[in-house]
Amino acid sequence: MLLLFWSTVAFMQQADQHSGENQATTTEQSDENHEVETTVTTTHEEGIMPANAAHGETHAAGGHDEHAEFDPAATATHHIGDANVYTILEAVSIPLPTILYSKDAGLEMFMSSKFNADPHHHEDGKMAYQGYVMQTGNVKRVVDPGFPMDGEATIDGFSTKKEMVEGKEKIVDYVHYAGKEYKLDSRTTWDGGALGGGVTSFYDLSMTKNVVAMILVCILLFILFRKAANAYVTNAGKAPSGIQNFFEPLVEFIRDEAAIPFIGKEKYKKYFPFLLSVFFFILGLNLFGQIPFFGGVNATGNLSVTLVLALLVFILVNINGNKHYWQHIFWMPGVPIPVRILLAMIEIMSLFIKPLTLMLRLAGNISAGHIAIVSFIGLIFIFGQSGKSLLGSGVGTLISVPLTMFMMSLELIVAFIQAFVFTILTASYIGAATEEHHHEEAHH
Amino acid sequence: MMFTLFSVFQPSPGLAIWSLVIFLLFWFLVGKFAFKPISKALEQRKNDIQHALDSAKLAREEVRDMKSANDKLLAEAREERTKILQEAKDLKNQIVAEAREKAKEEASKIINNAKQEIDNQVKASVAQAKSQLGGMAVEIAEKLIKKELKGNSEHDAYVKSLVDDLNLN
């Protein structure tokens, strides 16, 4: 057990290092890009939409030809982010149900195909619907007056600017319509402005790419588990076979390495379904995200998803915390009073830090892996100068393929390790909260 | 561009609500319809295996016990056999000794009887011989005396007393 945990930690550090380096390089590059060009304008290619032809000229002045400059940071960001459309291999675009709520316009429900997003072009929509548009796969809302807020409208493109808002530098997106620029609002987020988001004019409650992936993975897991469970009934008294052989070692591993050692031989049964659900939910989504060309779903790398998981852990741990647990938090027995006050402060902080680290660790590790892989693949475009140099592309491919393969195999391990780490830590928190202190006196 | 990178990490209410709903449903359904029967089956199998191991151990112990009992029985039988043999031997020796004793006794008895008989016979024959010898001696003496002292009664009495003296011997 200890050995495993040690290797886990080692791997995590390794992965963190890798991702840290990658993140550092990508952001550096992006910063450089920004100094050169503060405004990034994207327009639809001319000819695809005849209606755009008239407006095309104005935006073509932005200096964008077919070979748009490759921006690794933007690509990575786009890749690990959520989207309101499911794009496979930049070719197939599957529309998803979009559910939007704003105070002034109320609830809107429609398919994201209304935006007519172009899978080849960063999933930018060509149409606006009910005052909403799609930029890089995400729904945004027009806030400037004068834009048609009812029905469809053909739009000409987007631009992104750095602006000073209330003394802070902020990224603001604009949509181009009928020769004018209209300011856009991103969806409401729960970071309180710390990560550049905050409460805006609308809520995006859509079934996004991640939601669809979660549903798919859950259905798949449920079917497989049902099959395994049935096999235990029909195959009772016989050696396990087929799907049982896949799940059984994992289930027993979680039971013998996480549940029983931390929670206890009898008490673990109450929490075992939760631990298994968490483990397989995370593992399933981690692995689903690893399937190449299949949308690159990054659900477990998304803070919203890990936030929910960590929140459930937090609730589960604290509603099951016994007297000793709370006593140890608020009034540690056997130490002087000043120390008790200090310990109480630390313990209360750790109460929240524990689930917070759960949330950040999982999202960070999985996103880091995705960023690393995208960055390595991005080497092809960087060396090939975004398609201008065939030789460069060749060299880039030679470097990129082994690196990507290495990273993918590492990510395969990380997928298991992160799922296991989340589960084992959950088990340890539950174990700490429900532990019976029989030898109190001997303890202190 | 840092902000755009961070933008994907902004927790969005929509995704959070969806993942909460999906995960809770997953937890409920899988927990109820899959993990419960699987855990039960695994537990049962664990118990079965433990039970099988236990009973195998028990059987092994039983066999061992039986074997030791057999050995004990065999040893006892062997002991019994030697004991019986010993007894038989003793009995035989005893019988032989007794027989020998009896034979000796019988023989001595027979010999005694024979001795007594012989004594009696000897006594009888001695008496007979004495009387015959007396008669003969008297005859001889008679003849002698007749020749020398023709009919002397003093002599007869004297001879008679001599014969009686002989008889006392």
A14 is a domain residue: no
Domain with A163 in it = 39-69+83-207
Residue B42 contacts A, CB cutoff 8 Å: yes
- In this structure, the answer to whether residues A229 and A375 fall within a common structural domain is yes
A439 is a domain residue: yes
A9 is a domain residue: no
pLDDT at B4: 55
Q: Among residues A137, A413, A152, which one has the least CA distance to residue B8?
A: A137
H helix intervals, A235-336: 243-253, 260-263, 268-290, 303-319, 323-330
What stretch of H or E contains B63? helix B36-149
> Which of A156, A189, A207 finishes a domain?
A207
Domain with B104 in it = 35-168
B17 is a domain residue: no
Residue-wise pLDDT for A148-184, tens only, equals: 888 888 888 888 888 777 777 777 888 888 888 888 8
Lowest mean pLDDT among A106-120, A342-356, B98-112: A106-120
Mean pLDDT (chain A) is 78
Residues of A in contact with B31 (CB under 8 A): 273-274, 276-277
Residue-wise pLDDT for A366-403, tens only, equals: 999 988 888 888 888 888 776 677 788 888 888 888 88
B24 is a domain residue: no
- In this structure, the answer to whether residues A122 and A97 fall within a common structural domain is yes
Q: Is residue B169 pLDDT above 70, yes or no?
A: no
Q: Is residue A226 pLDDT above 50, yes or no?
A: yes
Residue B46 contacts A, CB cutoff 8 Å: no
Burial of A351 (0-12, 13-18, 19+ CB in 10 A): middle
The 3 state secondary structure assigned to A44-111 is CCCCCCHHHHHHHHHHHCCCCCCCCCCCHHHHHHHHHCCCCEEEECCCEEEECEEEEEECCCEEEEEE
pLDDT at A366: 92
- In this structure, the answer to whether residues A246 and A188 fall within a common structural domain is no
Q: How confident is the model at residue A76 (pLDDT cuts 50, 70, 90)?
A: confident
Beta-carbon separation of A299 and B19 below 8 A: yes
Q: How confident is the model at residue A52 (pLDDT cuts 50, 70, 90)?
A: very low
Q: How confident is the model at residue B1 (pLDDT cuts 50, 70, 90)?
A: very low
Residue-wise pLDDT for A31-49, tens only, equals: 434 333 344 454 444 333 3
- In this structure, the answer to whether residues A420 and A311 fall within a common structural domain is yes
Residues of B in contact with A190 (CB under 8 A): 10-13, 16
A218 is a domain residue: yes
Mean pLDDT of A181-191: 83
Q: Is residue A235 pLDDT above 80, yes or no?
A: no
Interface contacts A/B by beta carbons within 8 Å: 182
Report the distance separating Cα A212 and Cα B99, nearest Å.
116
Q: How confident is the model at residue A137 (pLDDT cuts 50, 70, 90)?
A: confident
- In this structure, the answer to whether residues A171 and A300 fall within a common structural domain is no
- In this structure, the answer to whether residues A365 and A420 fall within a common structural domain is yes
* Side chain identity at residue A444, one-letter code: H
- In this structure, the answer to whether residues A218 and A170 fall within a common structural domain is no
B142 is a domain residue: yes
Is the model more confident about A4 or about A317?
Answer: A317
Residue-wise pLDDT for B140-168, tens only, equals: 877 777 766 655 677 777 777 888 887 66
- In this structure, the answer to whether residues A430 and A352 fall within a common structural domain is yes
- Among the partner residues B12, B22, B42, nearest to A214 by beta-carbon distance: B22
pLDDT at A176: 87
Lowest mean pLDDT among A162-171, A305-314, A351-360: A162-171
pLDDT at A2: 37
Q: How confident is the model at residue A58 (pLDDT cuts 50, 70, 90)?
A: very low
A322 is a domain residue: yes
Could you give the percent of chain B with pLDDT greater than 90?
Answer: 50
State the total domains in chain A: 2
* Side chain identity at residue A316, one-letter code: L
Beta-carbon separation of A215 and B4 below 8 A: no
> Which of A179, A207, A235 finishes a domain?
A207
Is the model more confident about A425 or about A58?
Answer: A425
pLDDT at A22: 41
Residue-wise pLDDT for B24-51, tens only, equals: 999 999 988 888 888 888 888 888 889 9
- Among the partner residues A74, A236, A304, nearest to B4 by beta-carbon distance: A74
- In this structure, the answer to whether residues A251 and A148 fall within a common structural domain is no
What stretch of H or E contains B91? helix B36-149
> Which of A192, A207, A222 finishes a domain?
A207
Mean pLDDT of A44-61: 36
- In this structure, the answer to whether residues A230 and A133 fall within a common structural domain is no
- In this structure, the answer to whether residues A128 and A218 fall within a common structural domain is no
A141 is a domain residue: yes
Mean pLDDT (chain B) is 86
Question: Is there a contact between A51 and A172 (Cβ–Cβ < 8 Å)?
Answer: no
pLDDT at B5: 59
Residue-wise pLDDT for A106-122, tens only, equals: 888 888 888 887 776 67
pLDDT at A382: 80
Which of B2, B5, B45 to probe by mutation at the A interface, max A CB count within 10 Å?
Answer: B5
Is the model more confident about B82 or about A235?
Answer: B82
Three-class SS state of A182: strand
- In this structure, the answer to whether residues A133 and A266 fall within a common structural domain is no
State the total domains in chain B: 1
pLDDT at B66: 94
Which of B6, B19, B29, B45 to probe by mutation at the A interface, max A CB count within 10 Å?
Answer: B19
Distance from CA of B17 to the nearest CA of A (A): 8
Beta-carbon separation of A308 and B20 below 8 A: yes
ipTM tops 0.90: no
